Structure 1
Amino acid sequence: MEKSELVELLSAEGLRLLDELPPYDSAADVVRTVGALRAAGHPPTLVAAVLSQSKLRRRARDKFSDFADRMLFTEAGLEQATRLPVAALHAQRFRGAGLGRIADLGCGIGGDALAMAALDLGVTAVERDEVTAAIAAYNLAPWSNAEVVNASVEDHPLDGIDGVWLDPARRHGTTRLKNPADWSPSLDFAFDLARRLPTGIKLGPGIDRDLIPEEAEAQWVSVGGEVVELALWFGAVARPGIRRAATVIAAGGSAELTAAEDSPDVEVGPPGAYVYEPDGAVIRARLIGDLARSIGATMLSEGIAWFSADAAVDTPFASRFRVLESLPYDVRALKRLVAARRIGTLEIKKRGVDVDPAELRKKLSPKGDAAATLILTRVAGRHTALLAERD
């Protein structure tokens, strides 16, 4: 977003027009809407700005629920923003540690700072980009305990600050994940702060694990089955004795699996009546073994994140599938099986097998009114196809 566009949007006319627009409808006639707004005397640049914000607000409801209807966004800011339920977990860490004022360094549009302010924490939100800082200031305006500073994260003083939250951005155009300098601010800067103040750092879940300091609590978080972040916690906001955590957030609430270290896998065994696929957060945290032991399961194969048991155990940390058929991986045999069972809706999952699911689907030609899941993996090292149904 350009500065001139933001100025128009933040005008009395711009905010009034934005609030008067009906909820964004992707199926609506945009040309007709633009024409009507122009005919009402609104400048074309303002019309474009408010329609863009209306679209962003609609998208933002997935992350911010009803809060999105009074917030402003940029494309990049919304993409990078923490989901509100996850931001609430961050804020609870700081409040639970008894900290009073938190510096949100690299606050973006203010999602984490909003959650902190809502829990009555004092927040100083620092953002280098002028436009993004102005949007954060608008989003945090209802909270008198929050302030936004347009400044460099590295240069902002931390006098009177009890704890720090950082969301380092990837430097433009980089693809590496192993160089601490690839983030802005750098990981070296973030880890140095963590040695001085209670600190939380948000990183991508796929970060090289060798970069995780030994003293940090590493918490992988998934929402609706998608792993959305790795949070590193230091000092008073890290929990004693916990170095690995998998937090799973779903419609029914949240659950967490924790340990002092990576857990060793359980032994390999034959497929039972059920197979389990661990949540991505459990896989990233390397807590598959602890989860499998808790339900009396064995691994299907070494190094493959599937385990199996004869018991149907409910767990928020894995999806469960009832095995219908088990056979060596052979396309012709699978095509006959899919046809015999009249399977028309076929979910294909693979792990440890070099298969293109889209190409395989064409070869299997599923037709019929039945539904099933095809799991392609290794069992005791052998390529195997498990036909199953979600349980």
Structure 2
Amino acid sequence: MTSGQIAAFHALLTPAGQHLLAEADAAELHADPLAAATRLRRAALEGPDPAAAPAGGQPVEPAQLVNAALTQARLRGRAREKFGAAADRMYFTPAGLEQATRGAVARYRAHRFAAAAAVPDGATVGDLCCGIGADLLALARAGLPVEGVDLDPLTVAVATANVEALGLGAAARVREGDAARTPPGRYAAVLCDPARRGRRGRIFDPDAYAPPWRTVLDLARGAAAACVKAAPGLPHELVPEDAAAEWISVDGEVKETALWFGPLRGAPRQATLLRGSAPAGTADAAGPPDRATLVADPGLGDPPLAAPGRYLYEPDGAVVRAHLVAEAAAEVGGALLDPHIAYITADRLVPTPFCRAYEVLDVLPFSLKRLRAVLRERRVGIVTIKKRGSAVDVERLRRDLRLSGPNALVVVLTRVGDRPICLLCSEVSAP
């Protein structure tokens, strides 16, 4: 991180920078980068002094300020999916936005902290590796005093600006520091979100996180209560015995694994499905999002097996990641098609938030020629292809089907034992 980038960001917070950022945001100038740069350079010359140094710091040239404004405008556009309307007042870095907790998840987690009474009155939550401050802001909104810690000075500046922009300075603060060196007992509770992206992209090995996995767990155990955020694919064998594991999805997409320690622990293993990914107009809401939680039942045993019935249930990804398919099958009184594949079948339609339901119209041994013929007979021109336990290349299959027609179907590719099959389905809504 260069001093020039930090100076440019601080300059963005001055009247000159805010003038340019408003121009960029209002016109959505990022749609035409050349025109955007030209217009903003003109606005920089016509607006407040663009070279004025913020608070006596390093002077910033107009071109640097224009680039900073354009970058923020583009990032705000991308951030609306995670943060809704609040994104238009927030600040980001590319890496910070990529790893930032989605608004619905941050609100849910903050209210879990608050509801557990794990933080004594007046005590502070430590948000270690706070990034641009998504969880920090949610914790503050939930009424918890919180201090964010991050090693990167630009990230600290961005998180601080977000605290001020959303009017949360009375509850939240941010400091530059090495989270890995946090002494035990400094905070009443901690949230630790280690960096899971490097120069080459996502990091899948928890030991390569920053801080590494063992250090993260030590930080969690150094507080009376803690939550650790990890990737959705965290292996079950890496979940320590003193933690409860929760796989979280938003609108059907698995977002993270959360490990809970101390009084924040709930069921040892669960899947939580959140609805609504911060739609416009609700991003500043202090309340938790709608949710449904499925908890492991140790006495349940293996689910039964059955041939395809009238309905097929596709468990949410968080349910699958949490190894709770048997619990989902019990919810609908269903059975598995195959003991190793997360598809549930049943003869009746049962309302459940944990699965998508499809009516099975036909079951075929998998054959391209046969499948194409049946779809053409049904005048199907639009197919949604889903697969589990199948080696078929979905995009190649879509091309090879060469379909046309007014109707739409869902094609599910799977197997029963060693026998590949396909199910022709229509999606239904439970009554």
TM-score interval for Structure 1 and Structure 2 normalised by the shorter chain: over 0.9
Change (3 A) 1:23 1:256: farther
Equivalent-residue separation in structure 1 for 2:30 and 2:185 (angstroms):
51
Residue 273 of structure 2 contacts residue 318 of structure 2 at CA under 8 Å; is this kept in 1? yes
2:87 equivalent in structure 1: 68
Q: 1:304 aligns with which of 341, 348, 361?
A: 341
Equivalent-residue separation in structure 2 for 1:54 and 1:176 (angstroms):
28
1:103 equivalent in structure 2: 126
Q: How does 1:18-97 map to 2 (within 5 A)?
A: 18-23=21-26, 25=28, 28-40=31-43, 41=45, 43-97=62-116
Equivalent-residue separation in structure 2 for 1:174 and 1:109 (angstroms):
18
Q: How does 1:323-334 map to 2 (within 5 A)?
A: 323-334=360-371
Equivalent-residue separation in structure 2 for 1:188 and 1:201 (angstroms):
12
Residue 268 of structure 1 contacts residue 380 of structure 1 at CA under 8 Å; is this kept in 2? no
Residue 374 of structure 1 contacts residue 385 of structure 1 at CA under 8 Å; is this kept in 2? yes
Residue 263 of structure 1 contacts residue 286 of structure 1 at CA under 8 Å; is this kept in 2? no
Which deviates more, 357-366 or 181-190? 181-190
Q: Does 1:145 align with 2:168?
A: no
Q: 2:319 aligns with which of 276, 282, 303?
A: 282
The alpha carbon displacement at 1:44 in A equals 2.2
User: What is the aligned-residue RMSD (CA, Å)?
Assistant: 2.0
2:285 equivalent in structure 1: none
Give CA-to-partner distance per residue, 1:230-268, whole Å, 9 cap, x none.
Answer: 0000101112xx111111112393211112659644111
2:268 equivalent in structure 1: 243
The alpha carbon displacement at 1:25 in A equals 3.7
Equivalent-residue separation in structure 2 for 1:38 and 1:94 (angstroms):
46
The alpha carbon displacement at 1:32 in A equals 2.6
Identity %: 40
SS of the residue aligned with 2:113?
A: helix
Equivalent-residue separation in structure 2 for 1:302 and 1:260 (angstroms):
18
Q: How does 1:225-240 map to 2 (within 5 A)?
A: 225-239=252-266
SS of the residue aligned with 1:21?
A: helix
Q: Tell me the amino acid that sits aligned with residue 122 of structure 1.
A: P
| Count, aligned residues | 388
SS of the residue aligned with 1:120?
A: coil
Give CA-to-partner distance per residue, 1:184-235, whole Å, 9 cap, x none.
Answer: 1122122223333211000001122211112211000011211000000010
Residue 103 of structure 1 contacts residue 124 of structure 1 at CA under 8 Å; is this kept in 2? yes
Which deviates more, 17-26 or 340-349? 17-26
Equivalent-residue separation in structure 2 for 1:22 and 1:130 (angstroms):
25
* Structure 2: tracts of 5 or more residues without a match: 51-61, 277-288
Equivalent-residue separation in structure 1 for 2:297 and 2:146 (angstroms):
31
Q: How does 1:1-391 map to 2 (within 5 A)?
A: 2-23=5-26, 25=28, 28-40=31-43, 41=45, 43-98=62-117, 99=119, 100-141=123-164, 142-143=167-168, 144-157=170-183, 161-170=187-196, 172=198, 173=200, 177-178=204-205, 180-197=206-223, 198-239=225-266, 242-251=267-276, 253-259=290-296, 264-391=301-428
Q: Tell me the amino acid that sits aligned with residue 273 of structure 2.
A: V
Residue 194 of structure 1 contacts residue 235 of structure 1 at CA under 8 Å; is this kept in 2? no
TM-score with structure 2 setting the length: 0.85
SS of the residue aligned with 1:154?
A: helix
* Structure 1: tracts of 5 or more residues without a match: none
Residue 297 of structure 2 contacts residue 327 of structure 2 at CA under 8 Å; is this kept in 1? no
Q: Tell me the amino acid that sits aligned with residue 19 of structure 1.
A: A
SS of the residue aligned with 1:169?
A: coil
- Higher relative contact order (Cα pairs below 8 Å, separated by 6+ residues): 2
SS of the residue aligned with 1:300?
A: strand
